[in-house]
A and B are shown apart, each in its own frame.
Chain A
């Protein structure tokens, strides 16, 4: 069953915390991965691969560069699940 935006956000926040140690409640939709959350390209790819597994979706390499904010990632994952 497809997850809601809120559920994907919560799950993504968990993955981000696991990879970077950032507090989950600071992972908000309008935050930029690089500018606000200070997530580097290697951590980003680790989060992407873990998100693929967690949400059972495919996030192609070419798509990763378009995921600039948390909202971009949540929206992509929710759509990809549909």
Chain B
């Protein structure tokens, strides 16, 4: 008996983002509405974070609802029929449903059933991980098109009295359709982690501690100073290495789209990278808040809405957060 020769998949040489979609929580929550439990002020929050209002969703709106709205827009903008999507990847850390995945429900809702569907947990780097995976899946011939979504309803996991991170957070979803391209549209991705800082951003308790009645429901916290140092100075090194690996100089960029963690991080990051004035810098956090995995596609979508001339230009996108994990790549803006 002879062993049959296996068929392995191959795909197109290049990929790109074909379309983006966005959805934000329907309520614009100003600083004035959240300062009392943290004994703070509008000025304190603006000065330290640059956040003026954060988008939050009402009780009836779930992360998957935001993901659906964003995905339908991305699919429409990409111009491809939903049934040709071969994989749906959702990056999220705030889904209150442990299993099944948000991605399977989303795939069905947007007309991509029976696409491969799975969630990934890479916090604020989740979207960049998803783009790297989508690029690989398409080029390997596993999927013709891939829907990548960052979707968070972070207001479900905050503590209104927490002064470390909760007041920064918003709800939203950003989506991208990745597919074949005639020319390179997604660079080499830099993905990595530093688990030695595993406890610098995370939950206050475990699910089983909560079930045992020992603690309140788990909410999110961070060690701001440690995270700030890592997010600016360590991530500046990753950003520079990503540009080099992509074969791109800072002056070649049309836009810089970092994870919208805190305006002070965005500002200091841009300073460290010595970006020329010609590079548009995403500053969506001011009235969206930090939406973790959703922040990069939301910020990219907004930049393109406000500056349509950026379409076709190169954008450096970098996500970083709980893990700690990071991901970065240069993409051609759709």
Chain A residues proximal to chain B, CB less than 8 Å: 40-42, 44-46, 48-49, 61, 64-65
Contact between A42 and B264, CB atoms less than 8 A apart:
yes
Contact between A45 and B47, CB atoms less than 8 A apart:
no
Chain B residues positioned under 8 Å from A65 (CB to CB):
225
B42 interface residue (CB < 8 Å to A): no
Other-chain contact of A44, B223, B225, B226, B233 (Cβ < 8 Å)? B225
Contact between A61 and B47, CB atoms less than 8 A apart:
no
CA–CA, A64 to B227, complex, Å? Answer: 13
CA–CA, A64 to B229, complex, Å? Answer: 11
Chain A residues positioned under 8 Å from B224 (CB to CB):
41-42
Other-chain contact of A64, B47, B48, B225, B232 (Cβ < 8 Å)? B225
CA–CA, A41 to B224, complex, Å? Answer: 8
Contact between A61 and B264, CB atoms less than 8 A apart:
no
Other-chain contact of A49, B47, B48, B229 (Cβ < 8 Å)? B229
Chain A residues positioned under 8 Å from B223 (CB to CB):
61
Known: A40-B47, A40-B48, A42-B48. A61 touches B225 (CB 8 A): yes
Q: Shortest beta-carbon distance, A41 to chain B, in Å?
A: 5
Q: Please, could you name 5 A-B residue pairs with CB atoms under 8 Å apart, sorted by A? A: A42-B48, A45-B229, A46-B268, A49-B233, A64-B225
Q: Shortest beta-carbon distance, A59 to chain B, in Å?
A: 10
Mask, B258-301, CB within 8 Å of A = 1, is: 00001010001000000000000000000000000000000000
Q: Output the nearest chain B residue to A53 by Cβ-Cβ distance.
A: B233
CA–CA, A49 to B269, complex, Å? Answer: 13
Chain A residues positioned under 8 Å from B233 (CB to CB):
49
Contact between B225 and A45, CB atoms less than 8 A apart:
yes
B228 interface residue (CB < 8 Å to A): yes
Chain B residues positioned under 8 Å from A61 (CB to CB):
223, 225-226, 229
Chain B residues positioned under 8 Å from A40 (CB to CB):
47-48
CA–CA, A53 to B232, complex, Å? Answer: 15
Q: Shortest beta-carbon distance, B253 to chain A, in Å?
A: 24
Chain A residues positioned under 8 Å from B262 (CB to CB):
42
Contact between A45 and B48, CB atoms less than 8 A apart:
no
Q: Shortest beta-carbon distance, A60 to chain B, in Å?
A: 10
Chain A residues positioned under 8 Å from B225 (CB to CB):
41-42, 44-45, 61, 64-65
Chain A residues positioned under 8 Å from B228 (CB to CB):
41-42, 45
- Using A42-B262, A44-B225 as known contacts, list a sample of 4 further A-B pairs with CB atoms less than 8 Å apart, ordered by residue number in A: A41-B224, A48-B229, A61-B226, A64-B225
Chain B residues positioned under 8 Å from A44 (CB to CB):
225
Q: Which residues in chain B, 219-261, are within 8 Å of chain A measured between CB atoms?
A: 223-226, 228-229, 232-233
Chain A residues positioned under 8 Å from B48 (CB to CB):
40-42
CA–CA, A16 to B264, complex, Å? Answer: 16
Chain B residues positioned under 8 Å from A48 (CB to CB):
229
Q: Output the nearest chain B residue to A65 by Cβ-Cβ distance.
A: B225
Q: Output the nearest chain B residue to A19 by Cβ-Cβ distance.
A: B268
Q: Shortest beta-carbon distance, B328 to chain A, in Å?
A: 20
Chain A residues positioned under 8 Å from B47 (CB to CB):
40
Q: Shortest beta-carbon distance, A61 to chain B, in Å?
A: 5
CA–CA, A49 to B264, complex, Å? Answer: 15
CA–CA, A49 to B234, complex, Å? Answer: 11
CA–CA, A64 to B224, complex, Å? Answer: 12
